């Protein structure tokens, strides 16, 4: 199947042919528009600052005059104009290679995505720190990106992977995790927010610490897990792909050793993600990929390598610590910048410069709204989505209900009795212009654990509204009736 849109041809997988295309669905038009001008509903929040952010989004697409409701944000977010403008400005006005005016971020390594960041830790830290009999503890709810690299490392080193299952409430069993920790445990790999179960954070109530609340609610208490891990001498890698775009994440207060996320899920471009690593760990780790940029000196028979990014080489533009040598001052416009390789040990070759600039613009954009504001808004939206979905007959939503102590993330994975999730998603897309996702969401072990091959998933972001949820639920009811008519 092919869909043409303004000269771009998208080839869709044959599985999308399950339902005959709607004959009216001929022209998919994409246009720059504001929510306000595209008959979009008012945002759930009446906060003027949040409402204003919607006006910069250009993802309003129309299909025969009908707005597409985009509910696949856990897969990738839409991009605000501020990000697209930053990319365009870079390529049009100051395109050049790196080391000119880019400052190093403390303990941050830019990667292609979160997957590459986890592979970096696996191949660099894992291969040099794990040996036969060492244990890596994970949960069955991890994304494939957080499982497969450790399978490679286990095969090479003889380390053992131990998986923690779920409680009856369908949250990873934190008590079990605590019980299996021992002096053999060298690493814990955990997600911060699940991309399937929709677990978010615990609510803090007066007189109780968040950790205790987390425990009562059996929700992943990252700070507590980190403290248990450190007690037995293990490190913790947090997969924060689904938390960084949606809430305040403070690596220092979590005390995580490694943390990864992807730009494209947080309004930024694809092709760039990052690894946060504690300075002392990064400096002891060997390079992951070899090549330009990551070296100090190259000889015919060996090379020496650049420092990793760390607190000592954090500097901004004109401030250059005198002990950094091999600097080349480059005149660039009316600014003076410094070229050197320090901080680049894990960034071989020309990096994704434009994409990193786009990520910077996305970070500015989200910070401008305020991560706490985004989180609070999404909690409200998440509860609404959960309640509305549970009100649809024969729907099974995975993960715990929102409660006094548990916040749900603004996503729901679900199944409808006797309807395949791909049929659901296809019908919703073709007939109602509602974009959700179906499949295993890169979490096959979790789906097997839940006793299903696949699920449908609706995932929201701060630019979605209560009315988007209403449209989705209306369309879902219609879809279920359609399939029931064949029985
Ligand atoms: C929880 C989680 N971890 C890891 C990933 C991998 O992200 P990426 O494909 O951008 O590397 C995803 C993406 O869906 C995710 O949701």
Sheet with strand 185-191: strands edge to edge: 108-111, 273-277, 258-262, 235-239, 185-191, 135-139, 160-164
Identify whether the C-beta of residue 242 lies closer than 8 Å to the C-beta of residue 193: yes
**Tens-place pLDDT, residues 209-230:** 444 333 333 347 899 999 999 9
Going by pLDDT thresholds of 50, 70 and 90, the confidence category of residue 15 is very low
pLDDT at 344: 86
- Give the DSSP H or E segment for 414: strand 411-416
List active site positions.
442
C-alpha 212/C-alpha 279 separation (Å) is 29
What integer best gives the mean pLDDT of the chain? 80
pLDDT at 17 over 50: no
> How remote is the CA of residue 261 from the centroid of ligand 1, in Å?
8
> How remote is the CA of residue 145 from the centroid of ligand 1, in Å?
7
**Most confidently modeled of 75-79, 234-238, 428-432?**
234-238
Which residues form the pocket of ligand 1, taking CB atoms under 6 Å from any ligand atom? 74, 113-115, 143, 145-146, 191, 195, 239, 241-242, 262, 273, 442
Ligand 1 mutation target, pool 74, 192, 241, 444, most atoms within 8 A of CB = 241
Output the CA angle 308-222-146, nearest 5 degrees.
60
> How remote is the CA of residue 358 from the centroid of ligand 1, in Å?
19
C-alpha 144/C-alpha 88 separation (Å) is 33
Which of these ranges, 20-34, 76-90, 435-449, 463-477, has the smallest mean pLDDT? 20-34
pLDDT at 407: 84
pLDDT at 153 over 60: yes
pLDDT at 203: 54
pLDDT at 27 over 90: no
Going by pLDDT thresholds of 50, 70 and 90, the confidence category of residue 16 is very low
Identify whether the C-beta of residue 117 lies closer than 8 Å to the C-beta of residue 109: yes
| Atom of ligand 1 minimally distant from the CA of 75 | 14
Going by pLDDT thresholds of 50, 70 and 90, the confidence category of residue 36 is very low
pLDDT at 331 over 50: no
* Bridge partners, residue 397, by sequence: 414
C-alpha 255/C-alpha 117 separation (Å) is 18
What domains, with CATH codes, occur in the chain?
Answer: 2-79+370-484 (3.90.1150.10), 108-364 (3.40.640.10)
Which single residue is written with the structure tokens 């709810």?
A: 141
């Amino acid at each position: 199947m092919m869909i043409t849109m303004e000269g771009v041809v998208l080839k869709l997988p044959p599985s999308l042919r399950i339902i005959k295309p709607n004959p009216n669905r001929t022209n998919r038009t994409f246009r720059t528009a504001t929510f306000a001008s595209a008959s979009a509903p008012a945002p759930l929040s009446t906060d003027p600052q949040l409402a204003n952010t919607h006006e910069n989004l250009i993802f309003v697409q129309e299909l025969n005059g009908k707005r597409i409701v985009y509910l696949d944000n856990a897969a990738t977010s839409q991009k605000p104009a501020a990000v697209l403008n930053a990319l365009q400005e870079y390529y049009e006005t100051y395109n050049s290679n790196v080391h000119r005016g880019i400052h190093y971020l403390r303990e941050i390594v830019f990667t292609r995505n979160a997957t590459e960041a986890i592979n970096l830790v696996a191949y660099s830290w894992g291969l040099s720190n794990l040996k036969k009999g060492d244990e890596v503890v994970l949960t069955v709810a991890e994304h494939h990106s957080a499982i497969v690299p450790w399978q490679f490392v286990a095969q090479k080193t003889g380390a053992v992977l131990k998986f923690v299952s779920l409680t009856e409430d369908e949250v990873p069993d934190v008590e079990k995790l605590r019980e299996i920790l021992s002096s053999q445990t060298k690493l814990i790999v955990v997600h911060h927010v699940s991309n399937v179960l929709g677990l978010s954070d615990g609510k803090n109530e007066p007189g109780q610490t968040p950790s205790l609340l987390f425990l009562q609610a059996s929700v992943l208490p990252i700070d507590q897990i980190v403290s248990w891990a450190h007690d037995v001498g293990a490190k913790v890698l947090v997969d924060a792909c689904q938390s960084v775009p949606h809430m305040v994440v403070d690596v220092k207060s979590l005390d995580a050793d490694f943390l990864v996320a992807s730009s494209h899920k947080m309004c930024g471009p694809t092709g760039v993600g990052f690894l946060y690593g504690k300075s002392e760990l990064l400096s002891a780790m060997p390079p992951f990929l070899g090549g330009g940029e990551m070296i100090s000196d190259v000889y015919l028979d060996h090379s020496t390598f650049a420092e990793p990014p760390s607190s000592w080489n954090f500097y901004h533009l004109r401030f250059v610590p005198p002990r950094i040598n091999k600097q080349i001052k480059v005149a660039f416009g009316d600014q003076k910048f410094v070229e050197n390789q320090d901080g680049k040990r894990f960034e071989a070759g020309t990096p994704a410069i434009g994409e990193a600039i786009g990520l910077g613009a996305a970070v500015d954009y989200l910070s401008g709204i305020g991560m706490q504001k985004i989180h609070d808004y999404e909690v409200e939206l998440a509860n609404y989505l959960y309640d509305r979905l549970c009100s649809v007959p024969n729907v099974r939503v995975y993960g715990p209900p929102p409660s006094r102590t548990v916040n749900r993330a603004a996503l729901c994975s679900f199944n409808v009795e006797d309807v395949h999730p791909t049929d659901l998603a296809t019908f919703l897309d073709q007939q109602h212009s509602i974009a959700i996702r179906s499949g295993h969401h890169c979490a096959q072990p979790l789906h097997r654990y839940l006793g299903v091959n696949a699920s449908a998933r609706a995932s929201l972001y701060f630019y979605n509204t209560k009315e988007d949820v209403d449209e989705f639920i209306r369309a879902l009811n219609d879809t279920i009736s359609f399939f029931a008519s064949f029985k």
